[in-house]
Structure 1
């Protein structure tokens, strides 16, 4: 899923996931008096208005962060990350791994007024997928190549949806037929594209279905939308007809719009009892007092599977935000960006610790660092974690450059001034031979709204220019209003609309439990995040970015992905093949992983490790289901104890799985 940097790194209600769900979960009890359950009303802030509640279609986290609380799928993750039944009470898979059959529990649709609309049936899941396909869902990439006949329907080769491998066997049994076995298929059922839709209601609402209004959808999940006023307030109330309402402990949720201009107010309102948790900012003047008054309550959450990176625009077409005055300057920058040694030199010159410190402070800067697109511990390969396998593959690609490679989280594995200068020397010789004049100017857009994000951009600029020299590379900050900034980065729907040379605006979290969920986003044919590289999907017409794709060798990357995806009977071999593809991606220097979500300092009254844990999936982590509030702030001691117990339980579960 695509993530917006301001929303995920600043202060949005995603903080709940970082503290109590995504990347965490469970210690059921605490001996401390402060864990006594208190209010059933949760309050915090949000920073971006949702623009759609069409949960089968929208891919943006700023929408799905809400619909996760409005809807359920067949399965969900428990607090240890295990998949358990949600709308499905049981399921089975055929011996050949191609057919998945789910038995539904008795559950109701609820309208926005809290009235029962009708029963949830197997046909609703068929309707949901058809609606997604007919609406050209942004999530289609998750299942298009998986479900039998779906690609033909989406591409127009067949007009009959009955040919697609989803069917209602009876009112309470839904069945999916796959093209090839996917050991990770069930994790996809937590994604919105596979959620049910009531056909009668869909037809009744017509074009108004899924709009960002309370009455545009029916509800199958733990909450109903009570109130939404743009750039003002968002409120939920517990769904009175929810099938699992006994596990909905927080009855009311309220988010107040926050534009990032006054981060000090977050803690002040937490102290005043207005907010249930709050980010704290070590670089702000008021932090010393916060640390003095509440130091024992400051918690650094765990890193999550969401990765934020810096991307290069490989085929820039828009120049509304630029310092370049001539076509020659634009062409020189484009040539430089298409040069591999130049890209790697820039990346090796970025001090990630200094960059991260602008958000979480010097003491905590390493706690959010990431060096690979895929979280290193995502899967295990041949007895070690996936990140170690990517390191091995990098050494095979270039034993000199990667002799000491370290992709582990929470340390800077790429910053190397000596390597940066050596790579730049090669790049400069190659580019001068091609007529490029120096310095090369790189436009880096940023929203002027957030001082934290502006300071991160300034840190990146300082680092690159000090290592490579201002006579060689200049990073030009393009500060603009938040709407324009988002439109040319996060909200850009085409590569040609991406108005930057380098950008740190977006990130990615996996949709299902397989490395392909990370790596397919840059597939040159249909990758969902090609726009962040300034590229277009191949489509049926002329690919205007074909030359740029060829120049950086993305055809080779596509071949590596294809070979990995073809391995369906041996997970070790499959993951090793994907590690080879990721090594190619990192070595190509098209994008630089910088940091994850999580790892940020906060104070909270949410009982730690109570919500769903999931490395992947669109709709498991981030729900307020199962979360509880306590009457006093959680102490760091309580949080560490809870996390230790949770990690131990996770290890026990993993060992049992390995022994099967």
Structure 2
């Protein structure tokens, strides 16, 4: 079963370091930066990215879709008046264009991959970018750790799908295979936004508490915990942040943070998440969980929480059985557990409504 950790690909909006790149001229660097700031270009990348093929590299063909995640906030993380968060986000997307009509953000399927939409968005982007003197193809550097063979295969799959849809005369994804030290220092362990040495980065986030803000706050221009991965320093004025609308995003987020009524609060967060989807600044791809496993522990006998210390593996309440759990046993236990969970959640919400005045 997929858990609450979300992984996503994000763009570096203000790249300063070029120690690991295939670009050979300043024009190539400037062209890539200009393209990344263009929403139609980012959306084209999103629609050209085949997540099923990506998932198959680590999970095999049968399990390829079982790890796919389509929102930064998991679609079932909270409910709003009986509706899953993801369904409410979907209803908001009509405000952002026909390309989002009837989109389904549920886990374990890919609603984004659409070569026709990708080509249409890229055609718009190319027209806008050529008017600014941008030269093609756009080169996108993506770093990988050279010892991580599965990740290399996954990123190679991403490269193949994007280049085959958009054409290498338009976009080239340059995979930079680095040592562990270089990979870490250019990404996860970089101390400043200026040290982030890539155009595309694959990062992730796990919730600290059971509220959508735990995911959405990470891109606040004032204090975002993942903002450096976008090439921006929290709290510092940056024209690139304004160019892509992150100032607007932060204002929407702050308005939602002020709301104390849970339903109204979550509704506003759904608006924020919808904006983030349309922006294509952070492109969700997979979650933790959803992978094949072998176990003799009774399914769903342990405590469960999407956030906090009860959400990790614990021996408390855990039961063992003599034989290995079969797929049929697991699915039946999951169905029973989900039904009981829905009933208990409803009861908890009713009690909360009585308590909160």
Task: Decide: shared fold, TM above 0.5.
Answer: yes
Distance 1:657 1:620 in 2: 17
Deviation at 1:503, TM superposition (A): 1.5
Task: Give the paired residue count.
Answer: 350
Distance 2:313 2:331 in 1: 22
Specify the alignment match of 2:170 in structure 1: 472
SS at match of 2:228: helix
Specify the alignment match of 1:390 in structure 2: 89
Aligned match for 1:518, one of 194, 211, 215: 215
For the 8 Å contact 1:358–1:456, the answer to whether it is kept is yes
Specify the alignment match of 1:350 in structure 2: 49
Specify the alignment match of 2:346 in structure 1: 655
Deviation at 1:492, TM superposition (A): 2.5
For the 8 Å contact 1:611–1:621, the answer to whether it is kept is no
For the 8 Å contact 1:564–1:577, the answer to whether it is kept is yes
Specify the alignment match of 2:67 in structure 1: 368
SS at match of 1:478: strand
Deviation at 1:603, TM superposition (A): 1.5
Distance 1:335 1:659 in 2: 51
Distance 1:382 1:632 in 2: 41
SS at match of 1:437: coil
Aligned match for 2:144, one of 443, 446, 470: 446
Distance 2:181 2:197 in 1: 13
For the 8 Å contact 1:369–1:596, the answer to whether it is kept is yes
Q: Could you say if the C-alpha distance between residues 382 and 641 of structure 1 is closer, same or farther in structure 2, counting changes exceeding 3 Å?
A: closer
Distance 1:493 1:507 in 2: 17
Specify the alignment match of 1:589 in structure 2: 280
For the 8 Å contact 2:42–2:281, the answer to whether it is kept is yes
Distance 2:320 2:148 in 1: 29
Deviation at 1:610, TM superposition (A): 3.2
Distance 1:658 1:426 in 2: 46
Aligned match for 1:552, one of 237, 244, 253: 244
Aligned match for 2:325, one of 623, 630, 634: 634
Deviation at 1:410, TM superposition (A): 1.1
Report Cα offsets for 1:339-380 as digits up to 9, x if no partner: 111111111100010000101111111111111111111111
Distance 2:286 2:117 in 1: 21
Distance 2:272 2:328 in 1: 41
Specify the alignment match of 2:37 in structure 1: 338
SS at match of 1:536: coil
Deviation at 1:629, TM superposition (A): 5.3
SS at match of 1:490: coil
Distance 1:304 1:383 in 2: 21
Distance 2:188 2:20 in 1: 15
- Please say if 1:381 is aligned against 2:71: no
Distance 1:392 1:644 in 2: 27
Specify the alignment match of 2:254 in structure 1: 562
SS at match of 1:410: coil
- Please say if 1:329 is aligned against 2:28: yes
Distance 1:646 1:612 in 2: 11
SS at match of 1:474: strand
TM-score scaled by length of structure 1: 0.52
Deviation at 1:631, TM superposition (A): 5.4
Is the helix fraction higher in 1 or 2?
A: 2
Distance 1:488 1:604 in 2: 38
For the 8 Å contact 2:90–2:102, the answer to whether it is kept is no
SS at match of 2:311: coil
Q: Please, which runs of 5 or more residues in structure 2 have no aligned partner?
A: 352-357
Distance 2:225 2:346 in 1: 35
Distance 1:629 1:497 in 2: 48
SS at match of 1:366: coil
For the 8 Å contact 1:322–1:478, the answer to whether it is kept is yes
Specify the alignment match of 2:303 in structure 1: 612
Specify the alignment match of 2:114 in structure 1: 416
Q: How does 1:188-587 map to 2 (within 5 A)?
A: 302-398=1-97, 400-504=98-202, 506-538=203-235, 543=236, 546-568=238-260, 570-587=261-278
How large is the RMSD of aligned CA atoms in angstroms?
A: 1.6
Distance 1:641 1:583 in 2: 34
Q: Could you say if the C-alpha distance between residues 638 and 512 of structure 1 is closer, same or farther in structure 2, counting changes exceeding 3 Å?
A: same
Larger Rg: 1 or 2?
1
Deviation at 1:625, TM superposition (A): 3.2
Is the strand fraction higher in 1 or 2?
A: 1
For the 8 Å contact 1:371–1:408, the answer to whether it is kept is yes
Aligned match for 1:599, one of 277, 290, 305: 290
Deviation at 1:621, TM superposition (A): 2.0
